[in-house]
Amino acid sequence: MHPDTSFNLSERVALVTGATGGIGGAIARKLIAQGARVALASRSAERLSAQVEALRAEGLAPLTTLAYDLDDPDAIAAALKGFANTYKRLDILVNAGGIMQDAPLGMISAEAIDRTLQVNVAATIHHMQYAARLMARHGSGSIINLTSIIGVVGGANQTLYAASKAAVIGATKSAARELAPKHIRVNAIAPGFIDTAMTAHYKDVVRTRVIAGIGMGRPGTPDEVANAALFLASDLSGYITGQVLGVDGGMQV
């Protein structure tokens, strides 16, 4: 019996934003381990350097690193144009970069609205634009956007974050329809409560309440989200597009 090579991403070129975060880092690691040539993108050159060292210590080597701020459209354009000129192709895009600023509805500042929508929504769209052009040259590709269960069902004191992640779902579904004839798949992953730096600030009482609403009774891990990304990046999901895959352990909000 021949081994299943459906997860083999050998020679495929991938770009992962938010690659120094818990989820983005886990996804990058998983893709590299399966043979993909992965570019790591983050706003912090220092954190990227540390990420590269950590990966190399595990015997994994990223393709390159790109340091730019998702809040800066010009920086995104410069980075992605440079990437395209150097590597000429892109097979997998993972939009894992994002921010979460919880606040009661009446306390959301104009600055928070602008930055959250720029980082979580506009940057996702900018990256999809550039990715689609590169992928269209080779007639295939997989775009994976990170949304959230909060973007599906909402959350108290999370109106802004929920709005941004709901927008990512709408963008995912629309891009999937547009790009399907070019054999470019676009899907989203909606994590629930995942143990990362983004959720580390939750007070014990809040954390206990959230976990009580999870059917499986525990937080998820970045690796569990990364497994979903690997599936969507691989040939095993070759006929799947326009979908939102929940990775939430049966979470109720």
33-42 per-position pLDDT tens digit: 999 999 999 9
Instruction: Report domain extents, the chain.
Output: 13-247
Catalytic residue among 130, 161, 202, 239: 161
Q: Does domain 13-247 have CATH number 1.20.210.10?
A: no
The per-residue pLDDT of the chain, averaged, comes to 94
First to last CA, the chain: 45
Whether residue 196 is predicted with pLDDT greater than 50 in this model: the reply is yes
Whether residue 68 is predicted with pLDDT greater than 60 in this model: the reply is yes
Residue 239 gets which letter from DSSP? T
Confidence of residue 1 (pLDDT cuts 50, 70, 90): very low
The DSSP string of 68-124 is --TT-HHHHHHHHHHHHHHH---SEEEE---------GGG--HHHHHHHHIIIIIHH
Dihedral (Cα; 187, 73, 99, 36), 10-degree rounding? 50
Check if 68 is active-site: no
- pTM comes to 0.94
Please check whether residue 96 is in contact with residue 18, taking contact to mean a CB–CB distance below 8 angstroms: yes
Q: State mean pLDDT over 149-162.
A: 95
CA distance 147 to 100: 11
Q: State mean pLDDT over 169-184.
A: 98
CA distance 166 to 46: 31
**In terms of residues, how long is the chain?**
253
Angle CA(242)–CA(228)–CA(214) in degrees, nearest 5? 100
- Longest CA–CA span in the chain (Å) reads 62
> Long-range contacts of range 238-243, CB-CB < 8 Å, 24 or more positions apart?
238/185, 240/185, 240/187, 241/176, 241/179, 241/180, 241/185, 241/186, 241/187, 242/172, 242/173, 242/176, 242/177, 242/180, 242/186, 242/187, 243/176, 243/187, 243/188
Beta bridge partners of 184: 141
